[in-house]
Amino acid sequence: MPRGRYSLHDPHDHTPLAQEHFQCAPGPSGWRYVSQLTTPAGDHRGSVDLALDELGRPIRLELHAGGWQVRGAALDGVTWVRTDPTGTHATEGNVRAHAFTGTSPAFLVATARLLRLTPSSAATRVRLVAFTDPVLAPLTVDQSWALVDSETHATDNGPLTVDEYQVTALDTGERHTVHLAGDVVLSAPGIELEDLQSPPSAFDRPDLG
């Protein structure tokens, strides 16, 4: 069960945004990730609770940030309820999308798990609903994902496979690189892995037969 800490910063000017203290693990029904976020000053900033089924679909999402709360799941595409800080009004949303995304590293792992790409796979288009900071406003985004390299490294805890993905925002054409090892993000724009107390959990590789 990996536990650790990511630092989150603005990918353009590198302004520190938050520390994300996380733990995650595969289970009988899929994979779960939970985290608590703090500001650079150490104040509570929000939380993430994401559960995937065995196919990588989001069966439960709960986000808290800035007094706002979002609960969502894969249902007729993806469906969510967003509640305002006073708790008196709730708005529902539904989009014909594949999954959710946001600033948490959990969403990069979740998208990779959903797509199950191989180095020989063509780039795959995916539609996601992003919940943007600081008020968890929903935004539908289209991305293209390609697994461009996969290397296995020897470590003290056994072989570690590192996957390199190229992710393209289809509205702007902006491309960036994401490196994943199992269910841990090693590097991505705006994300740095600062501490990892146990090795990543390995997902089963796609059946190439």
Residue 45, domain extent: 3-198
Structural domain includes residue 209? no
Tens of pLDDT, residue by residue over 55-98, are 999 999 999 998 999 999 999 999 999 998 887 889 999 999 99
Tens of pLDDT, residue by residue over 102-160, are 999 999 999 999 999 999 889 999 999 999 988 999 999 999 999 999 999 888 878 88
Instruction: Give the count of domains, the chain.
Output: 1
Q: Residue 205's pLDDT is what? A: 58
Mean pLDDT of 182-190: 96
In this predicted structure, the answer to whether residue 209 has a pLDDT above a threshold of 80 is: no
Structural domain includes residue 205? no
Tens of pLDDT, residue by residue over 92-107, are 999 999 999 999 999 9
Residue 202 binned pLDDT confidence (cut-offs 50, 70, 90): confident
Structural domain includes residue 204? no
DSSP state of 201: P
In this predicted structure, the answer to whether residue 48 has a pLDDT above a threshold of 80 is: yes
pTM of the model: 0.94
Of 116, 181, 120, nearest to 152 by C-alpha is 181
Mean pLDDT of the chain: 93
Structural domain includes residue 203? no
Structural domain includes residue 207? no
DSSP state of 108: H
Q: Residue 111's pLDDT is what? A: 98
Structural domain includes residue 15? yes
